[in-house]
A and B are shown apart, each in its own frame.
Chain A
Amino acid sequence: MSSRRKRDELEGVISLCRAVQAGSVEPFAVDIDYMLEVIRRYYPATNSFQDFCTDAAAIRGLSNVLQSQNDWIQHQSTTLYKDPFLLNQQIHRMDISAIADSFLRSWHPLVQMEQLSAKTLMGSLGYWTDLIPLAERWKDPNLQLIEAGTASMDEARALGILPEEGFADVIETFWNELEERVGKGGRIDYWDWIGADTYEETIKRSYITVFLVGYGYANIESDRFGDKIEIIRNTEPHPDPGQAKISIPTLVDYEEWKLWRKG
Chain B
Amino acid sequence: MAKRVRSEAGYARKLKDAVHLLFFQHHRLPGIRGWELRQELGPDWLNVLEVLDKQLQSMDLQVTRVLDDPNITDPDQAQLADARFYITMRGGIEQKTAKTIGWRVDDIAGLAVAIAFIISKQGKVPRTDVEKLLQEKLPGWRVKMSIDRYIQQGYLGEDDKGVLFLDWRSRAEVDQKQLIDLIVGFGKKADAEEAAKPEEEDA
Chain A residues within 8 Å of B125, by CB? 23
Does B93 contact A109, Cβ atoms closer than 8 Å?
yes
A94, A96, A100: most-surrounded residue (chain B CB, <10 A): A100
Does B183 contact A23, Cβ atoms closer than 8 Å?
no
Does A22 contact B89, Cβ atoms closer than 8 Å?
no
Does B186 contact A94, Cβ atoms closer than 8 Å?
yes
Size range of the chain B interface in the assembly: 35 or more
Does A96 contact B129, Cβ atoms closer than 8 Å?
no
Interface-side segment among A31-39, A54-62, A78-86:
A78-86
Chain A residues within 8 Å of B122, by CB? 23, 71-72, 75
Interface-side segment among B4-12, B33-41, B44-52, B105-113:
B105-113
**In the complex, B177 has a CB within 8 A of chain A:** yes
Does A91 contact B61, Cβ atoms closer than 8 Å?
no
**In the complex, A180 has a CB within 8 A of chain B:** no
Does A86 contact B184, Cβ atoms closer than 8 Å?
yes
**In the complex, B28 has a CB within 8 A of chain A:** no
Does A93 contact B169, Cβ atoms closer than 8 Å?
no
Q: How far is the CB of A68 from chain B (nearest CB, A)?
A: 8
Q: Whole-angstrom distance between the alpha carbons of A24 and B30 in the complex?
A: 33
Does B119 contact A80, Cβ atoms closer than 8 Å?
yes
Q: How far is the CB of A78 from chain B (nearest CB, A)?
A: 8
Give the A-binding residues of B (Cβ under 8 A): 23-25, 30-31, 61-62, 64, 86-95, 98, 101, 105-106, 108-109, 111-113, 115-117, 119-122, 124-126, 129, 133, 136-137, 161, 163, 169, 172-180, 182-184, 186-187
